[in-house]
Structure 1
Amino acid sequence: MSVSVPSTSVTEGSDSSVPDGWREDNRAMWDERVPVHVAGSFYDLDGFRTRRDDLRDFERTEVGDVTGKSLLHLQCHIGTDTLSWAHRGAARVVGLDFSAPAVEAARALAADLGYGPDRAAFVTSDVYDAATAVPEPSYDIVYTGLGALCWLPDIRRWAETAASLVAPGGFLYLAEFHPVAETLDDETGTRVVRDYFTRDPQVWNEPGTYADLDAVTVHNRSVEWQHTLGDVVSALAATGLRIEFLHEHDVSLFPRFANFEVRDGYHRFPADHPRIPLIYSLRASRVS
């Protein structure tokens, strides 16, 4: 269970209080966990070097054929999803992450798979600075995968940055954990115990990592924010992108609730449990 600790706040954006040192704490936390993720079974990099594709089935379907297209992956971590798109035919993929060790791991993995920097490039940058950090001014597809937005205090600034990198005729695709699930009790997922609309920072002091709960870690303070579905969709719509669809999925990638079962390769509630959205995905296009 995560433990909240008090912090001093300042303001960034119009509706988010931001604890001092939040970015440095989050970066130190992620930097320390990269070796655990590279060596562990959760990402299974030895297996990935063979299968080369870790994307979820709904992502493959909703994004569609990427053959010959350029793709930018924001907040790419160690690059497995980024390189999965290269494996599926993207002409060029670029991954961006604020953790230098993560970017180094992604570059090493790309080299292992035989992708040079002309096919798969990785850059170290804060996501808010992506527009000036990536090698091309725009991409056919801007992709953001699961577990990324909670690390950002200002969703409108993220949307503006991401949208600015979508080429004419291209689109942004986002898959993210559903904020409704974060309101429910951790044991059974049947009781609402948290405020859905809170914009207060959530400050945790929690050892280990989702990839290895028993990992010994030192940099354990992290800061997260919850963004409602309405906030995310409205932020993207305000950039001028056209929302093509918003889909909700009753599956997860990890045992978020104590009563989860694994079926069909996903973590799910038992069959007799009321279904709730656990992941959402959306696609927003830029008209040519």
Structure 2
Amino acid sequence: MHAPIPADWREANRAMWDERVPIHTGSDFYDLDSFRAGKDSLRAFELAEVGDVTGRTLLHLQCHIGLDTLSWARHGAAQVVGLDFSEPAVETARSLARDLGLPPDRAAFVAADVHDAAEAVPDSSYDIVYTGVGALNWLPDMDRWAETAASLVAPGGFLYLAEFHPLTDCLDDATGTRIVHDYFSHDAWVDETPGTYADFDAPTVHNRSVEWQHPVGSVVSALAAAGLRIEFLHEHDASLFARFPALERQSDGCYRFPADRPRIPLMYSIKATRPERLP
């Protein structure tokens, strides 16, 4: 159902995520044993679009348990910092960093609200500010998020985000062919589904969550208004999971519609740079 923004949206979401951290750490979905053994959690298109991170500093906003953050360190980033509002998630990320032999000066994790990132992280700016998939839908205000994220990009650096395309949330779950929700809705979406994407059958208590849908145009406009220059907006015909029953798993591990069906964007990515100096 659609509803106005509940006053306790942040607390409800934090309770939901805190409860799911131990479920995720023990799940086949995250497969932490394989990750510790060297499995990369980043997607091929992210690695190609971000490029070489060797020797660069990287801040990962809304990092959850830190797999993507630590993967960037494995790819050569000089320092990675992950931030998440869930303390259990941050503790898990710190434990994983220790397991990988990464000291705090190479991989640090901070528990804080994303809007407080500028005050919470150890440095004032980073070569790369990164936001991985499934992050923006938990925030009500793209302008406020973009101002915070952009303020942490060093001159000459860039912000990179990869996200699920909001169009997918407008379509019916059964077929993905009918538009059943308003693409431009600004209302909060309140859900009370138990379990989690990593284990649909997991018994859970804190099931109430609050999410928002952000049209791609609002994200791009917010980043531009925050002073960043949009280098590209790419739309992708693949998803990371079977969002609709018709999606088929491909050899690269992503899910796409069959070749005989018209394609739609299932994900998108943006790179936005901060000029070395103002004109």
TM-score interval (norm. to shorter): over 0.9
The answer to whether the 8 A contact 1:176-1:279 is kept is: yes
SS in 1 for 2:37: helix
Q: Distance in 2 between matches of 1:201 and 1:34?
A: 24
Counterpart residue number, 2:259:
271
Task: Spell out, residue by residue over 1:199-225, the C-alpha distance to the aligned partner (whole angstroms, 9 max, x if none).
Answer: 100000110000110000000000000
- What code does the residue aligned with 1:69 have? R
Counterpart residue number, 1:282:
270
Shift of 1:257: 0.7
Runs of 4+ in 1 over 6 A off after TM superposition: none
Q: Distance in 2 between matches of 1:112 and 1:52?
A: 14
1:232-271 equivalences in 2 (<5 Å): 232-264=219-251, 265-271=253-259
Total equivalences in the alignment: 275
Unaligned runs of 5+ in 1: 10-17
Shift of 1:85: 0.2
Q: Distance in 1 between matches of 2:39 and 2:91?
A: 18
Task: Spell out, residue by residue over 1:116-157, the C-alpha distance to the aligned partner (whole angstroms, 9 max, x if none).
Answer: 101000000000000000000000000000000000001100
Q: Are 1:136 and 2:123 counterparts?
A: yes
Counterpart residue number, 2:152:
165
Q: Are 1:64 and 2:51 counterparts?
A: yes
Q: What TM-score do the two structures reach when normalised by structure 2?
A: 0.97
SS in 2 for 1:106: helix
Q: Are 1:192 and 2:179 counterparts?
A: yes
Q: Are 1:95 and 2:82 counterparts?
A: yes
- What code does the residue aligned with 1:287 have? P
- What code does the residue aligned with 1:285 have? T
SS in 2 for 1:19: coil
Q: Are 1:29 and 2:16 counterparts?
A: yes
- Percent of paired sites with the same residue: 71
| Worse-matched range after superposition: 63-72 or 250-259 | 250-259
Q: Distance in 1 between matches of 2:206 and 2:72?
A: 32
Counterpart residue number, 2:107:
120
Shift of 1:51: 2.1
Unaligned runs of 5+ in 2: none
The answer to whether the 8 A contact 1:52-1:83 is kept is: no
- What code does the residue aligned with 1:281 have? S
Give 1:213's match in structure 2, choosing from 200, 203, 210. Answer: 200
- What code does the residue aligned with 1:42 have? F
What is the CA RMSD across the aligned residues, in angstroms? 0.9
Q: Distance in 2 between matches of 1:258 and 1:237?
A: 36
1:143-158 equivalences in 2 (<5 Å): 143-158=130-145
Q: What TM-score do the two structures reach when normalised by structure 1?
A: 0.94
Q: Distance in 1 between matches of 2:245 and 2:6?
A: 30
Shift of 1:52: 4.1
- What code does the residue aligned with 1:279 have? M
The answer to whether the 8 A contact 1:53-1:85 is kept is: no
Counterpart residue number, 1:109:
96
